[in-house]
Structure 1
Amino acid sequence: MNILIVDDDEITSKLIEKRLLKRGFQSSVVHCGADCLKLVNSNTHRFDLILLDIIMPDLSGLEVMSEIRKVHSRVDLPIIMTTSMKETSDIVSALKLGANDYVMKPINMDILEARMKTHLSIKDLNIENMEKSELETANAMIVTYNHEINNPLTIAMGYIQKCELTGELDNLDKVSDALERIADIVRKIERVSTESSVKRESYADNLKMVKLK
């Protein structure tokens, strides 16, 4: 897990980094809000969680939080605020802006680790659910493909075989209709595959299929 530590106090941030390393976490450290946003928005760094100080000299933690939440959700990028007792009035604002949690300074590492693991677990569970949903959609697409295409394909192949056996071409229009039906189904499946959400309905034996529009 890669943790971004944002704190203008170099001694505090280095101490947290050292203690997190001992607990199995990789981390990066920046000392101002601008550098935090630069790293978070870059394509070369990926962070699993941010420890964000509320009071900083350039951009406050609340301002940084507001910018991050324009792009990254609470689940996508958990943020735990670090704050002192005198900043408790800012905690409510931070939570409203999208903070997942907070810890008080001086930081108790056992408490911090427990809260970090809680939010990282929620993040992992969300990823698993998304992957499961994508797999279910893929399976539903396969069921739809088999169900929708099987009938016109069987009709087309049957008439083609009849033509081969008898030499009669009277049913070519029916073959053409069946093939056009297949082509139309393929176009619908292609359209559904590009949609962000699809409607599933029961098929048989606990199987789901995608509803083609």
Structure 2
Amino acid sequence: MTRQQDGGKCRVVVLISGSGTNLQALIDAAARDDASFSVCSVISNKPGAYGLARAGDAGIAAVAIDHRDYGDRETFDRALMEEIDCHRPDLVVLAGFMRILTPEFVRHYSGRLLNIHPSLLPKYQGLNTHARALEAGDPEHGVTVHFVTEELDGGPTIVQAAIPVKDDDTPDTLARRIQVQEHVIYPLAVSWFAEGRLRMVEDRCQLDGEFLPRSGHRIEN
């Protein structure tokens, strides 16, 4: 189900590792009068992550579970799952969570686990996406929100935002321009899910009962 059992707003847990700019975009969207979701908890694998302070400022439960305290990835992910499930989330959102998740974790939240990746997937899975796009001479670059599956950065695409690459772009300038788009499309995708409009059906995305193209909903800038 995509809404809290009591008929209230969709409950969202956000996982972070850093400053939490996408988290802030979600917090701001959730604060609107017409919001269909609420951020009920923020969890970081890094105790010093600034995103935890953002959550605290917004009155949201925030906790760090340091992955370095665990002997292996599986043990950490089980501890993470236990903390997440305490909040009875309808949706789990990765917002700059810099950990590769175990298959057990991904299966546990299958169909209700979203990620944002700074490229027009399937191009440039992994890291250093902005530099790779520039090195390839791409005329456009962008960002993708997708459901998470066991394939790294390979789950069904929900929405993409594309921008033109400028002649004088650097990885830093491209990153800043892409980040503006991230803050638009992530709250959009979360709202679609919270409103019951979006779901994952096998390896495809359905929006309003219709299958999206493999590249998802496209926003040009």
Normalised by the length of structure 1, the TM-score is 0.36
Q: Could you say which structure has the higher strand fraction?
A: 2
Which of structures 1 and 2 has the bigger CA Rg? 1
Using CA pairs under 8 Å that are at least 6 residues apart, name the structure with larger relative contact order, 1 or 2.
2
Higher relative helix content: 1
